[in-house]
């Protein structure tokens, strides 16, 4: 197995000592990319390896707009956009925009910078997931962070009833997580409480499945 393949395998497996040793032997691996263009840093972030991500980030040079957005590096994002404002609308090799990545990883500050630079709050990912930044924002497990990001996107007129792959709307995702404040915010902005996913489930159904009684009752009240 080539060194780069071993390096990426160690990242996915969470083997931080192996990653550190590999970077010690070959620092250039911090900027390595897999066969589909996915960087080492993004591999660590996608696989929920924050400690490894920090190790790689410390060694990596010149993060691109996607890495900087996913890692929450506001200074780097500002620098990149100053050189090329169109990067706010760029799409990564795996189909995600910088705004969606910032939302998914919970970086409201980066999102604000990207939106100011012209990022489209409604742009779906160009892959089979078809997620918008609002989908990514409400999916965040930190309820307060999800609420803050949703406020930001809705202030920029993000569409509230858009469906991702599987027919899931932001309201359904918020209900599944039991985030009642986020559910209230989405309803106040016109979210359709009766919308059904492809499997027929509504936001109320998802709330009840997750034992979020108060959310289910709120959704079942007459509009």
Average pLDDT over residues 136-147: 96
Percent of the chain with pLDDT over 90: 95
3-state class (DSSP) for residue 36: coil
The mean pLDDT value for 112-118 works out to 98
Q: What is the pLDDT of residue 53?
A: 97
Alpha helices in 47-107 (DSSP H): 50-59, 65-71, 74-83, 98-104
Q: Mind listing the pLDDT tens digit for each residue in 131-140?
A: 999 999 999 9
What is the per-residue pLDDT across 191-217, written as a single tens digit (0 to 9) for each?
Answer: 999 999 999 999 999 999 999 999 999
By the 8 A CB rule, do 45 and 94 touch? no
| CB contact at 8 A, 104 and 136 | yes
Domains in the chain (CATH in brackets) are 1-61 (1.25.40)
User: Which is it for the CA torsion 39, 109, 75, 114, positive or negative?
Assistant: positive
For residue 69, give Cα distances in angstroms to 81, 148, 217. 11, 17, 37
Mean pLDDT of the chain: 96
pLDDT for position 37: 87
The overall pTM is greater than 0.75: yes
Q: What is the pLDDT of residue 1?
A: 44
pLDDT for the residue numbered 36: 79
pLDDT in tens, 149-207: 999 999 999 999 999 999 999 999 999 999 999 999 999 999 999 999 999 999 999 99
pLDDT at 23 over 70: yes
Residues 21-43 have a mean pLDDT of 92
Q: At residue 148, does pLDDT exceed 60?
A: yes
User: What percent of the chain shows pLDDT beyond 70?
Assistant: 99
pLDDT of residue 2: 57
**Alpha-carbon span 191 to 88, nearest angstrom:** 27
């Amino acid at each position: 197995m080539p060194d780069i393949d071993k390096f990426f395998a160690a990242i996915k497996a969470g083997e931080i000592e192996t990653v550190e040793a590999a970077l010690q032997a070959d620092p250039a691996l911090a900027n390595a990319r897999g066969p589909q263009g996915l960087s080492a840093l993004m591999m660590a972030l996608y696989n929920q390896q924050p400690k490894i991500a920090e190790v790689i980030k410390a060694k990596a040079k010149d993060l691109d707009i996607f890495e900087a957005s996913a890692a929450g590096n506001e200074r780097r994002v500002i620098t990149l956009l100053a050189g090329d404002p169109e990067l706010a609308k760029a799409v990564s090799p795996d189909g995600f925009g910088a705004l969606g990545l910032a939302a998914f990883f919970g970086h409201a500050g980066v999102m604000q910078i990207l939106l100011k630079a012209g990022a489209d709050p409604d742009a779906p990912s160009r892959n089979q997931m078809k997620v918008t930044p609002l989908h990514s924002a409400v999916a965040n497990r930190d309820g307060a962070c999800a609420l803050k990001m949703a406020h930001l996107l809705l202030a920029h007129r993000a569409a509230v009833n858009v469906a991702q792959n599987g027919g899931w709307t932001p309201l359904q995702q918020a209900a599944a997580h039991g985030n009642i404040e986020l559910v209230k915010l989405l309803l106040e902005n016109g979210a359709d409480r009766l919308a059904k996913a492809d499997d027929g489930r509504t936001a109320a159904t998802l709330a009840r499945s997750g034992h979020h009684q108060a959310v289910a009752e709120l959704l079942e009240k007459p509009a």
